[in-house]
C-alpha cells in the first residue's frame, strides 16, 4: 500500500512540532539566573515603575519626576545624562526587582535596615556643602535624624520641607514644647503659615546656639525687626546685648512675647529705689482707694518709658521719648 506524500509531510511536520515544542517548554522551565547583589537593573527606572507607579495620596511614584531629581539637563541629578536614576539613591536593584524583597535594596524609611548615618551619606554625596556644611556639628546629626525623616521626595504634593506652611508641621512633630509655645496668646505667626522655622533656624546644622540661621540671635531677630536694629542715640543695653533677655522667641502668655510682666521684668535690672513701682498697700492696686499707681497699671514702666528699644531724641536719655 502506497502512503500519500502529503500525509508523510504532515506526519513529519507534526513530529517536528512536538519535539521542538517539548524542547522549548523544557528551556522555559529553566529559570533565568538569579541576579547577583550589586547588579543594576537593565531598564533602570522603567523596571521600578512596573511596581512603584501607584499614587495613594501619600506616596506617589510620579512625584519624583516633578522635582529637581528628575531634571534631564542637570548632570548632577539622578535622572541627568549618565545618571543611575532610581538606583542612584536606592542602590543596585536587579535582585530586588527579581525577589521583591525590601532587604535587597536600600530603603529610606526609619524602620528599614539602613541606619540614619547610611541614609544621610547617600544624600550627602550630592547635597554636601552650602547650608549643609556644618551638618556634622548640628543637633540633628548627633541625634541620628536622617534626611528622609523630614524630606519626602515621593510625597504626592511634593516635599513638605520646601513649602512654608507644611514645613512647620513637620518640624513640630518632634519639637513638642515649641508647638505648645506657638499656641500661646503671644507668638510668632507660625500657625498661620506666615513664618517658617527655617526663617530663623538652619536645620542642616550651624555653629550657633539653637542652630540659628545667622551668627547671633540679634542678627536673626533684626532680619525681620529692622526698626529695632539701631544704632540709636540712646541705647537700652539689653537690646544691643540679647533680645532673649526680655523676649521669649517662640511664644509667651504675656504680650510682646515677654519673659515676665512689667514691672517685674524691668526690675530684674533696675532698682525700685525712689520709684514706687511695687504696690505697698491694696490701695495702690488697680481699683483701690488710691486709684492704682501709674507705675503698676497697664504698661507699667512703659507707660512713661515708651522707647524701650532705644531713642534718637536729643532728650531721650531716659527713653521717655
CA dist 279 → 13, 99, 289, 297, 307 (Å): 117, 79, 12, 10, 24
pLDDT of amino acid 96: 92
Q: How far is the C-alpha of 59 from the C-alpha of 51, rounded, in Å? A: 13
pLDDT of amino acid 42: 86
What number of residues does the chain have? 321
CA dist 143 → 135, 136, 174 (Å): 12, 11, 12
pLDDT of amino acid 156: 76
Q: Which helix or strand (DSSP H or E) is residue 251 part of?
A: strand 251-252
pLDDT of amino acid 235: 93
Q: 3-class SS at 248?
A: coil
- The one-digit pLDDT tens for each residue of the chain (321 residues) are 555 666 556 655 665 555 555 554 455 445 667 777 778 988 888 888 888 877 776 777 778 888 888 888 888 889 988 889 999 999 999 999 988 888 889 989 888 888 999 999 999 988 888 888 888 888 898 999 999 999 988 887 788 898 887 899 999 999 999 999 999 999 999 999 899 999 999 999 888 888 999 999 999 999 999 999 889 999 999 999 999 999 999 999 999 999 998 888 888 888 767 666 666 667 666 666 665 566 666 777 888 888 999 999 999 999 998
Q: Are 181 and 191 in contact (CB under 8 A)?
A: no
In terms of Cα–Cα distance, which of 42, 90, 95, 92 is closest to 69?
Answer: 90
pLDDT of amino acid 68: 87
pLDDT of amino acid 224: 94
pLDDT of amino acid 2: 57
In terms of Cα–Cα distance, which of 266, 65, 286 is closest to 154?
Answer: 65
The DSSP line for 86-122 is: THHHH---HHHHHH--GGGS---STTSSS-HHHHHHH
> Is there a cis peptide before residue 120, judged by omega within 30 degrees of 0?
no
Q: Are 190 and 168 in contact (CB under 8 A)?
A: yes
pLDDT of amino acid 203: 92
Residue with cell 502506497: 2
Spell out the residues 6+ positions from residue 104 whose beta carbon is closer than 8 angstroms to its own.
Answer: 37, 93, 95, 96
pLDDT of amino acid 32: 62
pLDDT of amino acid 11: 57
Amino acid at each position: 500500500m502506497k502512503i500519500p506524500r502529503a500525509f508523510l509531510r504532515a506526519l513529519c511536520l507534526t513530529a517536528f512540532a512536538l519535539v521542538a515544542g517539548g524542547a522549548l517548554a523544557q528551556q522555559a522551565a529553566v529559570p533565568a539566573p538569579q541576579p547577583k547583589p550589586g547588579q543594576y537593573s537593565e531598564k533602570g527606572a522603567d523596571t521600578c515603575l512596573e511596581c512603584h507607579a501607584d499614587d495613594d495620596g501619600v506616596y506617589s511614584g510620579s512625584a519624583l519626576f516633578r522635582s529637581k531629581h528628575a531634571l534631564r539637563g542637570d548632570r548632577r541629578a539622578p535622572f541627568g545624562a549618565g545618571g543611575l536614576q532610581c538606583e542612584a539613591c536606592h542602590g543596585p536593584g536587579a535582585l530586588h526587582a527579581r525577589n521583591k524583597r525590601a532587604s535587597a535594596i536600600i530603603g529610606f524609611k526609619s524602620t528599614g535596615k539602613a541606619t540614619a548615618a547610611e541614609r544621610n551619606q547617600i544624600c550627602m554625596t550630592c547635597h554636601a556643602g552650602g547650608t549643609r556644611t556644618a551638618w556634622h556639628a548640628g543637633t540633628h546629626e548627633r541625634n541620628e535624624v536622617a534626611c528622609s525623616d523630614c524630606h519626602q521626595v515621593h510625597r504626592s504634593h511634593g516635599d513638605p520641607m520646601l513649602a512654608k506652611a507644611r514645613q512647620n508641621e513637620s518640624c513640630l512633630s518632634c519639637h513638642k514644647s515649641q508647638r505648645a509655645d506657638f499656641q500661646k496668646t503671644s507668638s510668632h505667626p507660625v500657625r498661620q503659615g506666615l513664618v517658617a522655622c527655617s526663617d530663623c533656624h538652619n536645620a542642616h546644622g550651624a555653629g550657633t546656639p539653637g542652630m540659628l540661621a545667622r551668627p547671633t540671635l540679634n542678627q536673626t531677630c533684626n532680619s525681620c525687626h529692622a526698626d529695632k536694629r539701631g544704632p540709636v542715640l540712646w541705647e537700652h543695653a539689653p537690646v544691643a546685648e540679647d533680645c532673649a533677655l526680655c523676649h521669649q522667641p517662640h511664644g509667651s502668655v504675656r504680650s510682646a512675647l515677654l519673659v515676665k510682666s512689667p514691672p517685674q521684668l524691668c526690675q530684674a535690672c533696675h532698682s525700685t529705689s525712689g520709684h514706687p513701682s511695687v504696690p505697698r498697700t491694696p490701695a495702690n492696686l488697680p481699683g483701690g482707694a488710691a486709684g492704682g499707681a501709674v507705675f503698676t497699671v497697664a504698661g507699667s514702666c512703659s507707660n512713661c518709658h515708651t522707647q524701650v528699644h532705644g531713642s534718637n531724641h536729643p532728650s531721650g536719655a531716659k527713653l521717655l521719648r
